[in-house]
Chains A and B, each alone.
Chain A
Amino acid sequence: MKFRLRRSGLYVSGTDTKKMVDCGVYGADSVVLDLETSVPTSQKSFARILVKRALKKVNFYDSEVTVRINPIETFGEEDLHEIVQNKLNVVMIPEVSNNKTIKRLDSLLSDLEDERSITHKISIIPLIEDAIGLLSVEKIVEASERIVALTLDADDYLLSISGSRTKNEGELIYAKSKIVSVAKAYGCQAIDSVFLDENDDEGLYKESLAAKRMGFDGKRIVNPNHIEIVHRVFTPSLESIERAKRIMSEYKKNPDRKYLFLDGEIVRKAEIESAKRLLRGVF
């Protein structure tokens, strides 16, 4: 299981000929090249060719390279055939309502990795967008070892249940909590939904803070100027990193011990798990 920081996921439309070449310079943890929502149907064939060639030529520096393909039922398979290559790290797949989609994706990726001699296993991030998907999320996570994180498409989910969005997002608490719980139970990350208002720095900060409190590890954004805000919220504090290091070093001395003590206090199991997760993501 590949672990890395995914605090910021910067979206770039697969048709944006100007922004694609620069998206790696901002230090986002991931760049997400989008073939789905931001690409009109008439341009989908061009977009996948552009993304294929961008993956070959563009320097993304330290950012993880993710492509959001179309649903498997529509253009997803064509997208995969076009874009899968060495520089692709993660496939983000929308409209995941059941584990069949993930199994199909997993097997397609294995075939393409063999055919094209790809040197690593490409990861998967499923997008949950409806109630059925939400209820099946445990089966979805179990369907493939490639899944590294779960994320929610808030707008589509609410549309599917005839809800609507408000500023404080009370209507999304159940969906978001469920996604975080399942993700963490299965050793994955949870990524909060995309923030689309390029000009609302304050709103982004509030939403990110709320997401961090719920246990999310990061957020998807469209404006590179928002990376700083998101990193400020989702980067673990120095104190928590120090504490995690101390816990792990005590733990490693005797992993089978029943009780772990630090500074004369018992360290709870949950904290040990959290420390393990933190250090895997950070160092």
Chain B
Amino acid sequence: MIKKIGESGDVKSKNDVYVKIEPSDKLVIKVETPLFDLFGEKITEEVKEVLDEFNIKKAFVTVIEKNALDFVLQARVEDALRNALGERDEVQT
């Protein structure tokens, strides 16, 4: 279950993705990318794939993508998701 907001990435980095995952009562994926017309659907599928891996059916996912490859996007989604699931202790820096 998604307990809290999980984030991964920096909105400004090139060839990278920013992902924010929040609790929700349905599945909503918001995608912002200059490549929307080319890859909008594919990006959404890639996000769903990761959610499926963790059996998550309800979440509000925000993706701000800047020309990154699929495995980078999926790594960011997974990182944000595991953060949101509270699986990872925040590292004391």
A–B proximity contact (CB within 8 A): yes
The answer to whether B71 touches A54 (Cβ under 8 A) is: yes
CA distance A45 to B69 in the complex (A): 19
**Residues of A27-66 whose CB lies within 8 A of B:** 41-42, 44-46, 49-50, 52-54, 56-58
CA distance A195 to B19 in the complex (A): 35
The answer to whether the Cβ of B70 comes within 8 Å of any Cβ in the partner chain is: yes
A41 with B93: in contact, given A46-B79, A49-B78 (CB under 8 Å)?
yes
**Residues of B48-93 whose CB lies within 8 A of A:** 68-72, 74-76, 78-79, 82, 88, 91, 93
CA distance A95 to B16 in the complex (A): 31
The answer to whether the Cβ of A17 comes within 8 Å of any Cβ in the partner chain is: yes
- Collect the chain A residues with CB atoms within 8 Å of residue B9's CB: 46
Q: For chain B, which range describes its interface: under 10, 10 to 19, 20 to 34, or 35 or more residues?
A: 20 to 34
CA distance A36 to B76 in the complex (A): 19
The answer to whether A17 touches B16 (Cβ under 8 A) is: yes
- Collect the chain B residues with CB atoms within 8 Å of residue A53's CB: 71-72, 74-75, 78
The answer to whether the Cβ of A132 comes within 8 Å of any Cβ in the partner chain is: no
The answer to whether A56 touches B88 (Cβ under 8 A) is: no
The residue from B13, B75, B82, B88 contacting A50, defined by CB atoms under 8 A apart: B75
The answer to whether the Cβ of A229 comes within 8 Å of any Cβ in the partner chain is: no
**Residues of B3-22 whose CB lies within 8 A of A:** 8-9, 13-16
CA distance A83 to B14 in the complex (A): 25
- Collect the chain B residues with CB atoms within 8 Å of residue A58's CB: 71
The answer to whether B71 touches A56 (Cβ under 8 A) is: yes
The answer to whether B79 touches A17 (Cβ under 8 A) is: no
The answer to whether B75 touches A46 (Cβ under 8 A) is: yes
The answer to whether B91 touches A49 (Cβ under 8 A) is: no
A42 with B70: in contact, given A17-B15, A49-B79 (CB under 8 Å)?
no
CA distance A49 to B68 in the complex (A): 15
- Collect the chain A residues with CB atoms within 8 Å of residue B75's CB: 46, 49-50, 52-54
Residues of B at the A interface (CB closer than 8 Å) are 8-9, 13-16, 68-72, 74-76, 78-79, 82, 88, 91, 93
Given A17-B13, A45-B91, A53-B71, 10 more pairs with CB closer than 8 A: A17-B68, A21-B71, A42-B91, A42-B93, A45-B79, A45-B88, A46-B9, A46-B76, A50-B71, A57-B71
